[in-house]
């Protein structure tokens, strides 16, 4: 078998999913599976099967499949055989999956009493193109009462060079980490309290991230892992929030031209000097070429030699917000 042609996203009305307690009401979860097509071509789907593990162990989701409700999108039907649910299209037209996708809902699932990682197996059969794909989608079952609230940032909008403070609150006994990608595309992972290298991040607390720089997307992640008894791998949980970092307004503090000493046999030359905030480009217009041309300024330079050949040459410095113009677009053009 190969990978599915369609994409699958799973969400639950419990986040995280909790195992049922030893006494009292069982933990009941509803799963929604969203099927999407990102191939930009129609896919004819013959069937999609959702298989769950049934039993009382940590690797199982539920011990009894009785009473599980199903909801299929219009034009599709679901048949149950124990812990296997198979969805099929009602007509050939309904089998055609385009950009709108599909959504399937499984409700009233009584989670068993053993925390651990279980797996939902998705089997997809398509006829055009012909393919049978399988995907094992992990589902983590946390102990009863285990909760982690949202990750928030204050302030959520900051100026470049400023800071924001991240806040979170969760149940103890797990490992908490903060992770993000900085302006250099480096992944930064924070595992300990600031200035206390032996003190791990608490289950409920805050952390201030300083000197934020403009990036396409400044998203922070709270990564939670809980080790449970037994051979199961740690249970993972993630929260995220996005901070907007505003670029400073472009500004030209100075732009000057200085003549070099005239040397016998050497062309007339000048030095351009500038002090700006933001990205920039410098153009020259001497009337000879008919249009302005961009000077090939090296990255990070604050001065540049020029050798005008016409009686009048105009040099223009234009500043843009930081990151608006890519360096390779600004430099290297003549």
The pLDDT, as a whole number, for residue 160 is 87
Structure tokens at 115: 């925390």
- Cβ atoms of 5 and 132 within 8 Å: the answer is no
Domain at 7-142: CATH architecture:
Sandwich (2.60)
Residue 325 has pLDDT above 60, yes or no: no
pLDDT in tens, 59-89: 999 999 999 999 999 999 999 999 999 999 9
The pLDDT, as a whole number, for residue 328 is 38
Integer CA distances (angstroms), 307 to 59, 155, 332, in order = 75, 49, 17
Residue 157 has pLDDT above 50, yes or no: yes
Greater confidence (262 vs 314) lies with 314
Kindly report the CATH number that applies to the domain delimited by 251-330: 2.60.40
The pLDDT, as a whole number, for residue 266 is 82
Structure tokens at 291: 């249009």
Tell me the pLDDT band of 330, cut-offs 50, 70 and 90: very low
Instruction: Please state, in angstroms and rounded to a whole number, the distance separating the CA atoms of residues 240 and 168.
Output: 10
Residue 151 has pLDDT above 90, yes or no: yes
Strands 187-190 and 204-209: unpaired
Domain at 152-246: CATH architecture:
Sandwich (2.60)
Structure tokens at 128: 């055009």
Buried b / exposed e across 126-144, counting CB within 10 Å, b at 16+?
A: beeeebebebeeebbbbbb
Mean pLDDT for all residues in the chain: 92
DSSP 112-161: -S--EEEEEEEEEEEEETEEEEEEEEEEEEEPTT--B---EEESSEEETT
207: nearest Cα among 147, 148, 149, 153: 153
Mean pLDDT value across residues 278-301: 85
The pLDDT, as a whole number, for residue 331 is 37
pLDDT in tens, 201-249: 999 999 999 999 888 779 999 999 999 988 778 999 999 999 999 888 8
Lowest mean pLDDT among 34-48, 149-163, 311-325: 311-325
Instruction: Please state, in angstroms and rounded to a whole number, the distance separating the CA atoms of residues 241 and 44.
Output: 37
The pLDDT, as a whole number, for residue 69 is 98
Integer CA distances (angstroms), 286 to 48, 258, 314, 332, 334, in order = 68, 18, 6, 19, 13
Instruction: Please state, in angstroms and rounded to a whole number, the distance separating the CA atoms of residues 80 and 91.
Output: 19
Lowest mean pLDDT among 36-50, 116-130, 265-279, 311-325: 311-325
The pLDDT, as a whole number, for residue 326 is 46
Domain spans of the chain, in order of start: 7-142, 152-246, 251-330
Greater confidence (60 vs 332) lies with 60
Strands 157-159 and 235-246: parallel
Instruction: Please state, in angstroms and rounded to a whole number, the distance separating the CA atoms of residues 243 and 152.
Output: 9
The percentage of the chain sitting over the pLDDT mark of 70, rounded to a whole number, equals 95
The SS3 of residue 165 is strand
Question: Using the 8-state DSSP alphabet, how is residue 290 labeled?
Answer: S
Residue 16 has pLDDT above 70, yes or no: yes
What is the SS3 assignment for 52-77? CCECCCCCCCECCCCCCEEECCCCEE
Residue 299 has pLDDT above 90, yes or no: no
Four-point Cα dihedral 247, 250, 253, 257, nearest 10: 130
Q: Residue holding tokens 């980490």?
A: 177
Beta bridge partners of 237: 224
Same fold, 7-142 and 251-330: yes
Tell me the pLDDT band of 289, cut-offs 50, 70 and 90: low
Integer CA distances (angstroms), 216 to 170, 213, 243, 247, in order = 29, 10, 11, 11
The percentage of the chain sitting over the pLDDT mark of 90, rounded to a whole number, equals 80
Tell me the pLDDT band of 329, cut-offs 50, 70 and 90: very low
The pLDDT, as a whole number, for residue 113 is 97
> What's the distance, CA 248 to chain centroid?
25
């Amino acid at each position: 078998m190969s990978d599915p042609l369609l994409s699958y996203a799973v969400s639950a009305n419990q986040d995280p999913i909790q195992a049922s307690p030893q006494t009292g009401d069982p933990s009941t979860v509803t799963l929604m599976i969203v099927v999407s097509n990102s191939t930009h071509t129609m896919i004819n789907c013959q069937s999609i099967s959702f298989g769950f593990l049934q039993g009382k162990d940590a690797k199982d989701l539920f011990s009894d499949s009785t009473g599980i409700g199903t909801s299929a999108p219009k034009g599709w039907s679901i048949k149950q055989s124990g812990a296997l649910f198979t969805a099929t299209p009602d007509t050939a037209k309904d089998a055609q999956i385009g950009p709108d996708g599909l959504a399937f809902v499984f409700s009233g699932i009584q989670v068993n009493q053993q925390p651990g990682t279980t797996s939902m197996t998705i089997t997809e059969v398509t006829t055009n193109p012909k393919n049978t794909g399988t995907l094992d989608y992990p589902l983590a079952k946390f102990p009863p009462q285990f909760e982690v609230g949202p990750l928030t940032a204050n302030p959520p909008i900051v100026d470049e060079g400023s800071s924001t403070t991240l806040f979170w609150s969760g149940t103890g006994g797990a490992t908490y980490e903060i992770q993000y990608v900085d302006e250099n595309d480096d992944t930064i992972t924070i595992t300990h309290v600031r200035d206390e290298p032996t003190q791990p991040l608490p289950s409920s607390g805050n952390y201030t991230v300083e000197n934020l720089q403009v990036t396409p997307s400044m998203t922070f992640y709270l990564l939670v892992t809980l080790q449970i008894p037994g051979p199961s791998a740690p249970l993972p949980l993630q929260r995220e929030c996005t901070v907007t970092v505003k670029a400073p307004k472009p500004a030209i503090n100075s732009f000057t031209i200085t003549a070099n000493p005239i040397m016998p046999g050497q062309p007339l030359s000048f030095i351009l000097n500038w002090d700006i905030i933001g990205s920039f480009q410098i153009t020259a217009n001497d009337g000879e070429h008919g249009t302005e041309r961009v000077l090939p300024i090296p990255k990070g330079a604050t001065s540049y030699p020029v050798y005008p050949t016409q009686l009048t040459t105009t040099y223009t410095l234009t500043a843009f917000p930081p990151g608006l113009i890519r360096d390779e677009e600004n430099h290297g053009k003549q």
